[in-house]
Amino acid sequence: MADRLLSMVLLVLALAGSAFAKDAAPLADDPVLQARVIRIAEELRCLVCQNETIAASNADLAVDLRNQIRVQIGQGRSDAEIRDFMVQRYGDFVLYRPPLKSSTLALWVGPFVLLLVAGTVLLRQIRRRRALIAARPLTPAEAERARRLLGEENSPAS
């Protein structure tokens, strides 16, 4: 009897809690405004995460930047003016696709230069190793072992 009463009390409490629950508040009352905020935020890099846009990031700074975008939209600024404000404040790094200019040249060319350097180093190492192997003849013990491994035990040494 006590188990049944306890179960009923717990059920009533659970149902009462859900009766007072609220839906999550929308990010913006205006869906057009929210879509514009997200469109602009997808073009800006999260300065904390660095590999995510501020639209995708949950970092406190990203939330603040999205709110800043909302405020600036409310002030009547265009998308370009908002991006320019962010660049002026945080530099070209805040843009997910920075423009090609002298200060961002390393961002655009750097990965290709590193790939070229790595390929060159790899090719030199391979050539040097081949040259070392070809230049050093086998010792008699190594030659004998090679003949045994190849199944040529009775072959005369060359």
Q: Which token pair is 107?
A: 């961002």
Is the CB of residue 141 less than 8 Å from the CB of residue 127? no
Q: What is the pLDDT of residue 51?
A: 83
User: What is the three-class DSSP state of 53?
Assistant: strand
Query: Where do the H-state alpha helices sit in the chain?
Result: 2-19, 31-41, 60-74, 79-90, 105-135, 140-149
Q: What is the pLDDT of residue 120?
A: 97
- Kindly tell me if the per-residue pLDDT of 151 is higher than 70: yes
User: What is the three-class DSSP state of 98?
Assistant: coil
Q: Could you tell me how many residues make up the chain?
A: 158
Q: What is the pLDDT of residue 98?
A: 80
